[in-house]
Homo-oligomer: A and B are copies of this chain.
Amino acid sequence: MEFTISSDKSQQILDISDSVKRLVAASGVEDGVCNVFVPHATAAITINENADPNVCLDILDALDALVPSGRWRHDRIDNNASAHIKASIIGPSESIPIKGGSLQLGTWQDIFLCDFDGPRERRVIVTIIKKV
């Protein structure tokens, strides 16, 4: 099961919780784990606060300060080395427990795709493993 989502900025963190929740519901799985994976080397999956959108902007600012663009070997080939480095720091997947047919996210948690090299269309692969 997968879906696509498009960023419209060079760097953007997009809430994908509703799409993931729909796939969990469609699976009919009551108890298990949901793996959310982005098959791109300049994007990542994170889980963080859903209430104040500034949290996502702060994450992008912090990563920009930690990994400035334009100073890396790979920039000579494909001017996006900082996007690759950020992708490894955040990571390409998260695994979230499912109970009673629902993702066990906390009250303040949502699932986000981080696009560090947009704007682009990105694929997200969702795999639901039933507890047996």
Contacts and interface: CB of A to CB of B under 8 A. Distances in A.
Interface of A: 31-33, 35, 37-41, 46-49, 52, 54-55, 57-59, 61-62, 66-67, 72-74, 76-78, 81, 84-85, 87-99, 104-109, 123, 125, 127-132
Nearest to A13: B88
Contacts of A94: 91-93
Given A104-B39, A109-B92, A132-B130, A74 B62 contact: no
B67 A72 contact: no
Number of copies: 3
A128 B123 CA distance: 23
A73 B88 contact: no
A40 B109 contact: yes
A72 B56 CA distance: 11
A101 to B, nearest CB: 14
Given A39-B104, A57-B73, A59-B85, 16 more contacts: A32-B127, A39-B106, A41-B106, A47-B92, A48-B88, A49-B74, A55-B84, A62-B66, A62-B67, A91-B94, A93-B96, A97-B125, A99-B125, A127-B131, A128-B131, A130-B132
